[in-house]
């Protein structure tokens, strides 16, 4: 199979890139599950953009830099906040409907924002609405095709250049070589690496895993954002309870019903996510509890049902009425700030290979992503990557892979438990070294007919090893990376960088990435 452009992933970044590319050639968008199954679909909180009269680019930039804890690449943040309004106007033109009141957009405020700048759709269904509008626009292009129920397992490389990818179709159990002028990895995050996560089951770090095996640089993967408030029902998936709840006045209480955030940070419930997550863990330990409580019951009942319809109905299905009682919550892995290292136009260190969205690392989020910047990142840098891909010339329809059919013996659940215990919210050298010891000593097996679950397990093991190596190298605490044995922050902010065969480095940003905004 041959197309001008191959886009791996059908979330906001992949769809936005594909729409721009479809005007200039044939495009194949590959989704691992149904087209609708992506992290975009689960994004409740909203999309942050400086649109209101009391807001501006500079304020949004400063809030992003502050949340990023000294590690944001400022040109990337400038691109994000300055191009954000145009991307929102584009979404509106394509039919996206954001919540309004009296003809004006409702702008919410979330943790670490100095202004109310977060647009929502359907109260708490923002990602779904953005994905819907992008998908409808994408479908209008006859040169754009979708292939679902397929996983991309490896990249095709010829003379150091990406010339396509290998796709696995689980329905036919066949592997297919797909050739293209340029390949975009927009595969989302790696939340399924952890025992507790808000991410969908497809978020297994595929883009990071296959790019690393093909020789691309990976950066800052030790920075994992753990969302403070995931619904805690034993034996059930950790459903996200949006930060917008706390932005609208929800309170955190310990198991005894006492508020506690004032003891940990002056911004209390609106402190940055990493601080709130660690505070919850500390409070759970102090009270010998498995969870804390998120309380919105002091707000008007009709307002709760209208403002957070999906969250309200989901909690109600579990027997929790948010209008009258608090919800049990526990931190869960939510977002990875690092990923495949790119310049400001999505270009990776491998010619012909691009990345955008959560799978990529432009440095825009630094050590800790500002709430509701992820959807904006997807549309801004998805558009940028699409524009840059147009300059790629057609390569030969040949290529080899760096993958193999040796798969880790460790079961997915064991990997997740190992990651949670050794590379979770609070880390130390002993726990990280245990992760590396068990990953490296766990053994591998030859599977002659692997399926999607095997490929996912291989990627999870690859990404966990990268996270552990970067976390061990970073002997400080910063943003989403907290070392109990190195609680202080180093004076010089450095980025981790990993490349196959070259080990783990801490570098200043950028070394080879473009600084052109």
Residues designated catalytic: 273
Token pair for 345 = 């136009």
The contacts of residue 497 (CB under 8 Å, 6+ apart) are: 217, 218, 219, 341, 504, 505, 506, 507, 511
Q: 188: left (phi > 0), else alpha (psi -120 to 50), else beta? A: left
Distances (CA, A) of 261 to 13, 246, 271, 272, 359: 35, 12, 9, 12, 32
Q: 268: left (phi > 0), else alpha (psi -120 to 50), else beta? A: left
> How far is it, in rounded angstroms, from Cα 337 to Cα 199?
14
E-assigned strand segments in 255-326: 292-295
> How far is it, in rounded angstroms, from Cα 97 to Cα 130?
8
Q: How many CB atoms lie within 10 A of CB 150?
A: 23
Is the Cα dihedral 291, 292, 297, 302 positive or negative?
A: negative
Please list the residues that pair with 47 across neighbouring strands. 119
Token pair for 457 = 């397990």
Please list the residues that pair with 363 across neighbouring strands. none
> How far is it, in rounded angstroms, from Cα 344 to Cα 335?
20
- In 3D space, the residue among 135, 134, 144, 164 whose CA is nearest the CA of residue 152 turns out to be 164
> How far is it, in rounded angstroms, from Cα 350 to Cα 102?
50
Q: What is the DSSP string of 411-456?
A: -HHHHHHHHHHHSSSSB-HHHHHHHHHHHHHS-EEE-SS--HHHHH
Reduced to 3 states, what is the DSSP secondary structure of residue 73?
coil
> How far is it, in rounded angstroms, from Cα 98 to Cα 92?
8
Cis peptide before 484 (omega within 30 of 0): no
Sheet harboring 360-361: ordered strands across?
360-361, 339-341, 218-219, 495-499, 503-507
């Amino acid at each position: 199979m041959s197309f001008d452009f191959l886009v791996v992933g059908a979330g906001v970044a992949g769809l936005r890139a594909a729409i721009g590319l479809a005007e200039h050639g044939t495009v194949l968008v590959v989704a691992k599950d149904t087209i609708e199954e992506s992290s975009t679909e689960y994004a409740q909180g909203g999309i942050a953009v400086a649109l209101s009269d009391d807001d501006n680019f500079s304020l949004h930039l400063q809030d992003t830099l502050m949340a990023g804890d000294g590690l944001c690449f400022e040109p990337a943040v400038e691109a994000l906040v300055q191009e954000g309004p145009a991307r929102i106007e584009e979404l509106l033109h394509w039919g996206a409907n954001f919540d309004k009141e009296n003809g004006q957009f409702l702008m919410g405020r979330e943790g670490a924002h100095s202004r109310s700048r977060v647009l929502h759709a359907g109260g708490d269904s923002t990602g779904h609405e953005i994905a819907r509008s992008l998908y409808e626009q994408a479908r209008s292009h006859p040169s754009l095709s979708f292939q679902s129920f397929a996983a991309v397992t490896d990249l095709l490389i010829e003379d150091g250049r990406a010339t396509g990818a290998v796709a696995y179709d689980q329905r036919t159990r066949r592997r297919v070589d797909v050739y293209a002028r340029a390949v975009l990895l927009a595969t989302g995050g790696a939340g399924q690496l952890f025992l507790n996560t808000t991410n969908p089951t497809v978020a297994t770090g595929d883009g990071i895993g296959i790019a690393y095996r093909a020789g691309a640089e990976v950066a800052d993967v030790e920075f994992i954002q753990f969302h403070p408030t995931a619904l805690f029902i034993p034996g059930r998936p950790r459903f996200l309870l949006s930060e917008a709840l706390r932005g609208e006045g929800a309170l955190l209480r310990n198991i005894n019903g006492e508020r506690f955030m004032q003891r940990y940070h002056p911004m209390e419930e609106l402190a940055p996510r990493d601080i709130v997550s660690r505070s919850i863990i500390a409070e759970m330990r102090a009270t010998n509890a498995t969870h804390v409580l998120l309380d919105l019951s002091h707000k008007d009942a009709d307002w709760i049902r209208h403002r957070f319809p999906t969250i309200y109905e989901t909690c109600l299905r579990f027997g929790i009425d948010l209008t009258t009682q608090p919800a049990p919550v526990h931190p869960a892995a939510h977002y990875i700030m690092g990923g495949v290292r790119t310049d400001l136009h999505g270009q990776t260190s491998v010619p012909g290979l691009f990345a955008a969205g959560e799978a990529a690392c432009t440095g825009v989020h630094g050590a800790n992503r500002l709430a509701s910047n992820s959807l904006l990142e997807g549309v801004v840098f998805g558009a940028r990557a699409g524009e840059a891909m147009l300059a790629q010339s057609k390569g030969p329809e040949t290529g080899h892979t760096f993958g193999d059919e040796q798969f880790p013996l460790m079961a997915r659940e064991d990997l997740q438990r190992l990651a949670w215990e050794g590379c979770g919210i609070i880390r130390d050298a002993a726990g990280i070294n245990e992760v590396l010891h068990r990953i490296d000593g766990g053994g591998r097996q030859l599977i002659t007919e692997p399926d999607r679950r095997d490929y996912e397990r291989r990627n999870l093991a690859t990404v966990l090893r990268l996270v552990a190596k970067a976390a061990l190298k970073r002997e400080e605490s910063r943003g989403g990376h907290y070392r109990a044995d190195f609680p202080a922050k180093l004076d010089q902010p450095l980025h981790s960088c990993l490349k196959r065969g070259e080990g783990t480095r801490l570098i200043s940003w950028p070394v080879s990435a473009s600084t052109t905004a």
